[in-house]
Amino acid sequence: MEKTNTSTHGRLLKVIAGILVIINIIIGIWAYPRLPEQVPSHWNLAGQVDGYSGALTGAFLLPLITLGVYILFWIIPRIDPQKANYLKMGRVFWIVSTTLVAFLSLMYWGTIAVALGYLETLPRWYFSGIGIIFILLGNYFGKIKFNYTFGIRTPWTLANEEVWAKTHRFAGPIWIVGGILMALAGVLPAAWTEPLFGIVIVLIAVVPMAYSYLVYRRLSI
């Protein structure tokens, strides 16, 4: 029964991710003739637009990237040399995949809303949304099995399956803490955003990388 439920949840997540992809394409088709010549494409940590693209790129680049990511998620489990481990992960792979598709979709919707004048700029609660995504991913990190495509891929995790497992179990709580700090950045004064963002990057990227190296060295002695 548990296996059936896992399979059902996996199919549901695939459908949800697919629906998001379709919605993004529909929005792009609808928005393209309505967009100005310059569409915001990048924001700095203060929430100010510091990069623009043309209307065609603004309307369709992110939807096409999201579509490509979605297709890639279908292909990866079939071509990864460790594809048997994807079966062991069950729905976890598609939880992570759908979360990424949702994140890209959220960024796209915000961009289009700003370009069309529905929003003045991306609201600060977008940082909180990113934080929630980090928390969700961190909650499942310990269940990501050894593979060559997604997860914390350092030279040391890829060289040793035990290092992979220990690093992901260690990184899960770290990502949750990073997600909480990022979520706080969405509600605290803007002056807090840059230092909190720097702390989060160190926590979710540098600390797990260093830990994987230390574990590898210890196991190699």
Q: Could you report the per-residue pLDDT of 205-215, keeping only the tens digit for each?
A: 999 999 999 99
Averaged confidence pLDDT in the chain: 88
The confidence band for 60, taking pLDDT boundaries of 50, 70 and 90, is very high
Say yes or no to pLDDT of 201 above 60.
yes
- Higher pLDDT residue, 93 or 122? 93
Evaluate if residue 185 carries a pLDDT over 80. yes
Token pair in block for residue 213:
């190296």
- Residue 9: what pLDDT? 58
Residue 85 has which token pair? 């481990």
Please state the rounded mean pLDDT for residues 29-54: 84
Residue 111 has pLDDT above 50, yes or no: yes
Average pLDDT over residues 20-42: 93
Domain ranges of the chain: 1-123, 124-221
Q: Is 148 strand, coil or helix?
A: coil
Per the CB < 8 A criterion, the answer to whether 128 and 185 are in contact is yes
**Mean pLDDT across 26-55:** 85
Query: Greater confidence, 3 or 157?
Result: 157
Q: Give the pLDDT score at 154.
A: 95
Contact of 121 with 42, CB cutoff 8 Å = no
Task: State the pLDDT at residue 2.
Answer: 43
Residues 138-149 have pLDDT tens digits of 999 989 999 998
Q: What is the per-residue pLDDT for 7?
A: 56
Contact yes or no for 175/141 (Cβ under 8 A): yes
| Neighbour count for residue 140 (Cβ, 10 Å) | 18
Instruction: Note the pLDDT of residue 221.
Output: 72
The model carries a pTM of: 0.80
Q: CA–CA distance from 1 to each of 7, 88, 213 (Å)?
A: 10, 16, 40
Q: What is the pLDDT of residue 4?
A: 44
SS (H, E, C) the chain: CHHHHHHHHHHHHHHHHHHHHHHHHHHHHHHHHHCCCEEEEEECCCCCEEEEEEHHHHHHHHHHHHHHHHHHHHHHHHHCCCHHHHHHHCCHHHHHHHHHHHHHHHHHHHHHHHHCCCCCCCCCHHHHHHHHHHHHHHHHHHHCCCCCCCCCCCHHHHHCHHHHHHHHHHHHHHHHHHHHHHHHHCCCCHHHHHHHHHHHHHHHHHHHHHHHHHHHHHHHC
Is residue 80 pLDDT above 80, yes or no?
yes
| pLDDT score at 107 | 87
End-to-end CA distance of the chain: 44
